[in-house]
Amino acid sequence: MSEAQQWAGQRLGLPKTGAGSLAKVGLRFAALMIDWVLAMLVSQAFAKGDSTVTLVVFAFVQWVLIATVGYSIGHRILGLQVRRLDGKFVGLWRSLVRIGLILLVIPATIWDADNRGLHDKAAGTVLVLTR
């Protein structure tokens, strides 16, 4: 972080703490694990735990839920939401770009000073706390 920026998200106009502030790594990871476990349960129930089915279920649920309501099940449970920086609806295309890059893994592991992965930067989104 630069000297002018005192906290991650400040230059994006986000508060330091509370609702609207950037989600921390631990919450992000926990939400991801909740979503992955749910995808595994669906895959186990309908496809004997096939790993490809697990991946497709995970990706589809992420794409549709984030595009329509702004959060996955894991995000909702932990009080997180994906938002566009301009405050508008995330939408199908941005959500598709975001999940496509998450599935590649590496873009989601490269972060900037605002704790935004390349997947969020490319989609013009940010993961924030809702409470």
pLDDT digits (tens, 9 = 90+) for 46-88: 999 999 999 999 999 999 999 999 999 999 999 999 999 888 8
- Which sign does the torsion angle of CA 10, 13, 14, 17 carry? positive
Looking at residue 113, its pLDDT comes to 85
Residue among 91, 93, 111 at smallest CA distance from 28: 111
Looking at residue 18, its pLDDT comes to 95
Looking at residue 87, its pLDDT comes to 81
Position 3 pLDDT exceeds 80: no
Lookup result for tokens 């939401």: 81
- Please state the φ and ψ torsions of residue 74, each to the nearest 5 degrees: -60, -40
Per-residue pLDDT reduced to its tens digit, 89-116? 899 999 999 999 999 998 889 988 888 9
Cα distances (Å, whole numbers) of residue 114 to 19, 80, 101: 16, 16, 18
Residues contacting residue 44 through CB under 8 Å, at least 6 positions apart: none
